[in-house]
């Protein structure tokens, strides 16, 4: 079983997203340990990109801060090497095709696998174009995690059938961010995925409160939260650790009891 799938072994999973290098890579490393201590089952590490099309203003601002602070893919790889000396929590990169291309797809994926990453999420790569990343991911034992959006009903079965690790169900159209209400029929999406393949489904985009997380986890295998965590990092900077840890603990409790 892949390390990514193991994140779903002990009931409902809570998956936090962290932008690498915001406020600094040293803090990002500590955030991974804090997330695990607070009950996170898998951590998404965002590699900053200058034009992140799927992201709302909160994560865009974090990308800008990280890049202006001098964060590079190589520095992030070095940070993961340090993390892997201390924990085996499942880790996946979330970034954009351009970041992988410009590094060299094969070189990027080989290095990611060597340093102990478990998977990759590329929100700007449509299903029809995923082969050029999927094949090298398989070669190096990484899960390329598929996203399923509310618009892609007729495509859900097709995408799910070929998915690996887990399926990232996008709870709403548009960019990531914090929403008051999530109205998409997630249960129907998850059902379609499960009909196609026995694979965990986690829901992200717009979840920020324990109530929302519990509601989403009740109809799936877990919840993913990015903007609300990145917001805390932006708000508290170098002092963000205890705030993020407390937030993750509350969210994991909500998911666990859903």
Residues forming the active site: 44, 55
What pairs with residue 256 in β-bridges?
none
53-to-84, 98, 112, 245 alpha-carbon distances in Å: 30, 12, 23, 28
HSE at residue 253, side-chain half, CA atoms within 13 A, is 9
Alpha carbons 257 and 172: distance in angstroms, whole number: 23
Confirm if 109 and 141 have CB atoms less than 8 A apart: no
8: Cβ–Cβ under 8 A, 6 or more apart, which residues? 41, 166, 200, 202, 221, 222
Look-up: residue for tokens 């990531």?
Answer: 176
């Amino acid at each position: 079983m892949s390390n990514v799938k193991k994140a779903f072994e002990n009931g409902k999973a809570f998956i936090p997203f962290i932008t690498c290098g915001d406020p600094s890579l040293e803090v990002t490393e500590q955030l991974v340990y804090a997330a695990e201590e607070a009950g996170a089952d898998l951590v998404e590490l965002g590699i900053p990109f200058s034009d992140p099309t799927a992201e709302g203003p909160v994560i865009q601002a974090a990308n800008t801060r990280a890049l202006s602070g001098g964060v590079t893919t190589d520095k992030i790889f070095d940070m993961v090497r340090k993390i892997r000396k201390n924990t085996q929590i499942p880790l996946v990169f979330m970034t954009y095709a351009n970041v992988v291309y410009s590094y060299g797809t094969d070189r990027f994926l080989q290095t990611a696998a060597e340093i102990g990453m478990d998977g990759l999420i590329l929100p700007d790569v449509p299903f029809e174009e995923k082969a050029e990343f999927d094949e090298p991911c398989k070669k190096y034992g990484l899960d390329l995690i598929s996203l399923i959006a509310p618009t892609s009903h007729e495509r859900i079965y097709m995408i799910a059938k070929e998915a690996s690790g887990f399926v990232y169900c996008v709870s709403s159209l548009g960019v990531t961010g914090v929403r008051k209400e999530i109205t998409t029929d997630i249960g129907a999406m998850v059902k379609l995925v499960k009909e196609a393949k026995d694979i965990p489904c986690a829901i992200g985009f717009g979840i920020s409160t324990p109530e929302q997380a519990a509601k989403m986890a009740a109809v799936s295998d877990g919840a993913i939260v990015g903007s609300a965590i990145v917001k805390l990092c932006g708000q508290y900077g170098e002092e963000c650790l205890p705030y993020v840890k407390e937030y993750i603990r509350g969210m994991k409790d909500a998911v666990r009891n859903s």
